[in-house]
């Protein structure tokens, strides 16, 4: 093998397989749509604690996927090797919010679509998805379930509190009950008649009721 044969290798032949213009355009668009995904994620986040690292991951994931798919589409042999390499990777990060999975798939899908050259699909599709998420995720409804954590001094106070909740809410179901010597603690699932949560104040002021807490299933405290 001569010195010239080294520079005739297949590795150097792949340098120009993807043009610089295509790479720059795809990565810039992936970065822009990734920022849009991050903005929608911030607007629709409803968890307990916002993770900035997860938001940055959404932007990086769209760009990384674009880069990988650009390489795969330029070489069939490389695509087979990429499948084998990615098949041995295992991710152990726990996804706490179900909606986070949708954002992860959204970022990956944007990278794939952009690298395939379907720019209008990536742009308009992301816009439609973002609008749908803003409308449905941020929509607050009084039909959503809540938990009332109630502490009563005895059975009489417990019975009166349950009767009051039954009258004041659309639905009231006991989910848990803890009894101590002079304390009864109840966990009740309720569905509100409207957006007014003032009945909790009345409930907390009843005789024998030591405390009343209204908690939504998303982790937000109200009342």
Same domain? 212 vs 185: yes
Q: Please give the Cα distance from 162 to 186 (Å, whole number).
A: 10
Same domain? 15 vs 117: yes
> What's the whole-model pTM score?
0.64
Please give the DSSP secondary-structure letter assigned to residue 48: S
| C-alpha of 132 from chain center | 14
Residues 146 and 192: beta-carbon distance below 8 Å: yes
Same domain? 25 vs 93: yes
pLDDT value of residue 6: 47
Dihedral angle at the C-alpha atoms of 101, 148, 221, 56, nearest 10 degrees? -10
* Residues 43-70: tens digit of each pLDDT: 888 766 777 888 898 999 999 888 888 8
Same domain? 114 vs 14: yes
Same domain? 86 vs 50: yes
Task: Tally the domains of the chain.
Answer: 2
The band of 222, judged by pLDDT with boundaries at 50, 70 and 90, is very low
Q: Pick the more confident residue, 216 or 47.
A: 216
């Amino acid at each position: 093998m001569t010195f010239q044969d080294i520079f005739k290798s297949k590795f150097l032949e792949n340098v120009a397989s993807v043009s610089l213009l295509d790479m720059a355009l795809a990565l810039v668009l992936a970065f822009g749509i990734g920022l849009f995904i991050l903005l929608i994620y911030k607007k629709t986040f409803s968890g307990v604690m916002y993770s900035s690292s997860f938001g940055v991951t959404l932007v990086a994931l769209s760009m990384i996927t674009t880069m990988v798919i650009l390489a795969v589409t330029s070489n069939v042999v490389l695509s087979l090797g990429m499948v084998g390499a990615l098949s041995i990777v295992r991710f152990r990060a726990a996804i706490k919010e179900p909606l986070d999975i949708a954002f992860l798939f959204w970022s990956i899908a944007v990278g794939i679509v952009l690298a395939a050259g379907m720019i209008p699909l990536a742009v308009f599709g992301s816009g439609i998805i973002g609008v749908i998420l803003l409308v449905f995720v941020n929509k607050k409804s009084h039909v959503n379930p809540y938990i009332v954590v109630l502490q009563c001094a005895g059975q009489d106070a417990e019975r009166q509190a349950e009767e009051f909740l039954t009258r004041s809410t659309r639905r009231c179901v006991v989910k848990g009950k803890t009894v101590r010597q002079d304390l009864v603690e109840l966990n009740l699932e309720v569905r509100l008649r409207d957006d007014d949560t003032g009945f909790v104040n009345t409930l907390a002021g009843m005789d024998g009721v030591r405390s009343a807490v209204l908690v939504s299933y998303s982790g937000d405290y109200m009342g």
